[in-house]
Structure 1
Amino acid sequence: MINLNLIKTVNDFNFYNKIALIRVDFNIPINPKNFHILDDTRIKSSIPTIKKVLYDNGKVILLSHFGRPKGKYNKNYSIKFLIPYLYKKLKVTIKFSEYCIGPMVEQLVLNLKNKEVMLLENLRFYQEEEDNNKLFAFQLSKLGDIYVNDAFGSSHRFHASITTLPKLFVNRKCIGFLMEKEIKSLNKFLGTGKQPISVLLGGSKINSKIKIIKNLVHFADHILIGGGMAYPFIKILGGQIGDSLTEKYDKKIETELKSVLENNHKKIFFPKDVIIVNNNEHQTKIVSINSIPHGWKGLDIGPESINFFCTILKQSKTILWNGPFGVFEQHPFYIGTQSIAKFIVELTIKNNCFSLVGGGDSIAALKMIQLENKVSYISTGGGALLESLQNTTLPGIQAFFS
């Protein structure tokens, strides 16, 4: 639980004649050929925070990273393409700085007028950002009067603009509306959520999720594991998983998986059956998840698994979902993920169940069937959401307590 009473929000400040240095997360999917935005969820979610500052007759400087340019300028990772989109949403002058620090950007800031927005170039063109460099953070701090963190999706990173920069503003820092919503949703799930609580974990990265599972068993009533994550468990339990894709894991992880299973076998559930395909991908069939033959691999949960998971979910009052249960982008392996998504929406609407969905693939699956607005809350941070479930305060939030 994060005590929001101890953190200031943008509503605690009047930004008149002030420069708000807003850390946003505009690391969004685009078509690299024409820079067409494929999903603008993260940008739209931060627009209310930007508008609050402009409404107060303040000035806005936007800080964001984009992609992984590895500390060097790369035109393919420039965020200049965002200017038309921001102008369309904000209807104010959008200025652009090719630099994030130094005398040139400082001069541009001096000329910034009230109700104007300046977008700085990609923070990750500077290696100092990912190195959490204190001097880099200090140079950024010279640009603004008030620091605002509205980048939940990046708040699990120990980066300069996330962890060191806010500390330099002492009492002149706050979170934006998006961050506030994310924290409230997390609190509802981690601390005040109605029981029974069910967690659905899919995808394939078991190494990064084992700590999460170990923490979830302390307060979740049901943990449903599907997708590629399920196969390491099935293998440890003695099942045959054929050629199903699994992330490589060492003996230490295997020992931890066994420990989790031994101590929490009544809380953790796996699919009953899966849709498998042979290596030539000419044939598909449904088999028990414990009996996948050599030369075949599981690509989706089967009908028995869907019914089994839905029976458990029907008991729930609080649901968190992160990760798909199959290769949902391909026909016909989308059925399992979409069926579960539709049932979560049904429980949200009919049973007044609180549903929190995070992770790019889970959100994409909801959008494929146009149900993204039918769950209680969609988190803008996949990695940040998962880090929060490890019972740790995110570095970007911890910075407000120091």
Structure 2
Amino acid sequence: MPFRTLDTLDAEGKRVLVRADLNVPVRDGKITDLTRIERLSPTIRALSGKGAKVIVCSHFDRPKGKRVPEMSLAPMAAALGQVLGRHVRFVEDCIGIPAEGAIDLLQPGDVLVLENTRFHAGEEKNDPTFAAALAKLADVFVNDAFSAAHRAHASTEGVAHLLPSYAGLLMQAELEALDAALGNPVRPVAAIVGGAKVSTKLELLGNLVGKVDVLVIGGAMANTFLAAQGIGVGKSLQEAEMHATALDILAKAKAAKCDVVLPTDAVTATEFKPNPPTRIVPIDAVPADAMILDVGPASVAALVARLPSLKTLVWNGPLGAFETPPFDAATVALARAVAKATQSGALRSVAGGGDTVSALRHAGVADQLSYVSSAGGAFLEWLEGKTLPGVAALED
């Protein structure tokens, strides 16, 4: 890999600043999902086990440069302690005398969580003075927050230029998985892209048609591609203003010899609510008063039949309105087939994006793909072919 990893770090006795992503979902003051904290724990354990003084920094929510008590990282420090099964210290600032004093008390192997970096305006501005104040706390910087690597902030990018910098175990795993998926994939490679709007994934689609052999388009996004080709989609969600763009993407795919796969049948309903009366129709026979709310069973069967011909699969976005039954059926069926092919060793599968992860969990297979990214925006921007500042800084 084009950056240093923990394998090459002599951490004993060193103050190691770890950029984590503790921006976890919280409801009514309680953390509802520990995934990001659990995925951080191997790096913390590895550094602590090497005798490092581990100093964890992260943002949480959007306090906009001000101290907002309900956006404190204190609950995340407690949760990290529970996941690690050990005491984790916490200090109520991330720079200056309070942070420096707390670090002076650390013994080799100890873990300290600093307060929310976004309590300081210099964080999001990537202010050199704030970055220098963070760098002053440590001897080494480890970035283990791929999910924040698309932001050029002081704690993700600025500090990496001021200290010897390394990729944490989660960062390393994310980058290796993504490289295997699109950087240097085993072919044939396919991508599944779902979601509501072409406009939000225009750059993604434009990048993928030049990199994959098969592009499967699902979700309401598929409706725009169908309507652009003159196929009636009834009252389905679609973007009329994106028709020309959709046709342009199809033309680029054809020129790149990328096979674009759209639904051939659909599950429709006249009302969007849980378990309404539904009809399965050919894609060119959608009733004028109905909405396409899921990919039909014939389309799913065709996709499943195609899996044995693929070696690599990238997935971002569900096929239908999976959060509302029965419009989860296509996503669940395909997810389970992908998991089965992955578990057999025939397919390398990489998925990411908030809705995608939720859909895979709903299908019960989130732990059965080759890699499921916990990143949202960073995963999407990487698929779009963009340079991620937090990754580029490590390469320097």
Could you say whether these structures have the same fold, taking a TM-score greater than 0.5 normalized by the shorter chain as the test? yes
Call closer, same or farther: CA 1:240–1:70 in 2, change over 3 Å: farther
- C-alpha offsets along residues 284-327 of structure 1, whole Å, 9 cap, x if unaligned? 22233444444432221111121122233331111111111112
- C-alpha offsets along residues 217-256 of structure 1, whole Å, 9 cap, x if unaligned? 223110001012212212211122233234x685xx5543
Match of 1:323 in 2: 317
Structure 1 CA distance for aligned equivalents of residues 222 and 61 of structure 2: 30
Partner-residue secondary structure (3-state), 2:173: helix
Match of 2:22 in 1: 26
Match of 1:276 in 2: 268
Call closer, same or farther: CA 1:26–1:280 in 2, change over 3 Å: closer
Match of 1:153 in 2: 147
Given candidates 229, 237, 253, the residue that maps to 1:237 is 229
Structure 1 CA distance for aligned equivalents of residues 387 and 350 of structure 2: 18
1:36 equivalent to 2:17? Answer no
Call closer, same or farther: CA 1:318–1:249 in 2, change over 3 Å: same
Structure 1 stretch 113-122 or stretch 254-263: which is displaced more?
A: 254-263
Given candidates 251, 255, 278, the residue that maps to 1:262 is 251
Contact 1:96/1:121 (8 A) holds in 2:
yes
What is the 5 A alignment of 1:89-168? 89-168=83-162
Structure 1 CA distance for aligned equivalents of residues 119 and 280 of structure 2: 48
What is the 5 A alignment of 1:2-401? 4=1, 6-30=2-26, 32-37=27-32, 39-169=33-163, 172-246=164-238, 254-265=243-254, 267-279=259-271, 281=273, 282-401=276-395
* CA RMSD in angstroms, aligned pairs only: 2.0
Corresponding pairs, count:
391
Structure 1 CA distance for aligned equivalents of residues 73 and 376 of structure 2: 21
Structure 1 CA distance for aligned equivalents of residues 65 and 331 of structure 2: 37
**Normalized against structure 1, the TM-score is what?**
0.91
Contact 1:348/1:376 (8 A) holds in 2:
yes
Structure 2 CA distance for aligned equivalents of residues 293 and 71 of structure 1: 52
Q: Which runs of 4+ in 1 moved over 6 A?
A: none
Call closer, same or farther: CA 1:29–1:249 in 2, change over 3 Å: farther
- C-alpha offsets along residues 324-357 of structure 1, whole Å, 9 cap, x if unaligned? 1112122211111100100101111235211111
- C-alpha offsets along residues 159-213 of structure 1, whole Å, 9 cap, x if unaligned? 22111110111xx110111111111111112233221111101112422322222
Structure 2 CA distance for aligned equivalents of residues 291 and 136 of structure 1: 60
Structure 2 CA distance for aligned equivalents of residues 119 and 291 of structure 1: 58
Structure 2 CA distance for aligned equivalents of residues 157 and 249 of structure 1: 32
Contact 2:228/2:244 (8 A) holds in 1:
no
Query: Letter of the aligned partner of 1:226 in structure 2?
Result: G
Partner-residue secondary structure (3-state), 2:341: helix
Among the aligned pairs, what percent are the same residue?
Answer: 35
Call closer, same or farther: CA 1:80–1:243 in 2, change over 3 Å: farther
Call closer, same or farther: CA 1:142–1:217 in 2, change over 3 Å: same
Structure 2 CA distance for aligned equivalents of residues 54 and 202 of structure 1: 41
Call closer, same or farther: CA 1:256–1:315 in 2, change over 3 Å: same
Query: Letter of the aligned partner of 2:45 in structure 1?
Result: K
Call closer, same or farther: CA 1:312–1:46 in 2, change over 3 Å: same
Call closer, same or farther: CA 1:67–1:243 in 2, change over 3 Å: farther
Partner-residue secondary structure (3-state), 1:286: strand
Query: Letter of the aligned partner of 1:33 in structure 2?
Result: D
Which consecutive unaligned segments of at least 5 residues does structure 2 have?
none
User: Could you tell me how far 1:19 is from its partner in structure 2?
Assistant: 0.9
